[in-house]
């Protein structure tokens, strides 16, 4: 009930901070640094170890639209349909060859 009364900008602030998932053999860390109240997010995404092509991550800027956002990275990969699913961020990872993998980012255990 409280979330239904909160303005969208307040809910967006809940995204700030670090999120993690595993993709292939890498730990993927998504860090949302800022949001501007209009739904614009700025952050970084990092792979440890780097992906097979040597890509280790990059900064990004994206827009929240109707409760979802996408992250487009410099190596041609992207995460689409990122949205809240309970206490995680869920979406779909798209590899350069257009294969897809569902992903769920959770807060790291620290």
In a domain, 7, yes or no: no
Q: What is the domain range of residue 96?
A: 14-105
In a domain, 6, yes or no: no
In a domain, 26, yes or no: yes
Q: Is the dihedral of CA 101, 74, 34, 9 positive or negative?
A: negative
Q: Let me know if 58 is exposed, middle or buried by CB neighbors in 10 A (0-12, 13-18, 19+).
A: middle
Total number of domains constituting the chain: 1
Q: Give this prediction's pTM.
A: 0.84
Q: What is the pLDDT of residues 4-34, one digit of tens each?
A: 333 344 455 578 899 999 998 999 999 999 8
In a domain, 19, yes or no: yes
CATH code for the domain of 79? 2.40.128
* pLDDT of residue 3 exceeding 90: no
In a domain, 4, yes or no: no
């Amino acid at each position: 009930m409280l979330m239904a009364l909160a303005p969208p900008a307040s809910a967006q602030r809940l995204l700030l901070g670090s999120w993690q998932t595993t993709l292939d053999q890498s730990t993927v860390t998504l860090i949302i640094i800022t949001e501007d109240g209009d739904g614009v997010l700025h952050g970084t995404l990092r792979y440890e170890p780097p992906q097979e092509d040597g890509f280790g991550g990059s900064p990004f800027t994206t827009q929240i639209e109707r409760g979802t956002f996408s992250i487009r990275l410099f190596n041609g990969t992207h995460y689409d349909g990122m949205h809240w699913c309970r206490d995680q961020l869920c979406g779909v990872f798209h590899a350069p060859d257009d294969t897809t993998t569902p992903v769920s980012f959770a807060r790291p255990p620290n």
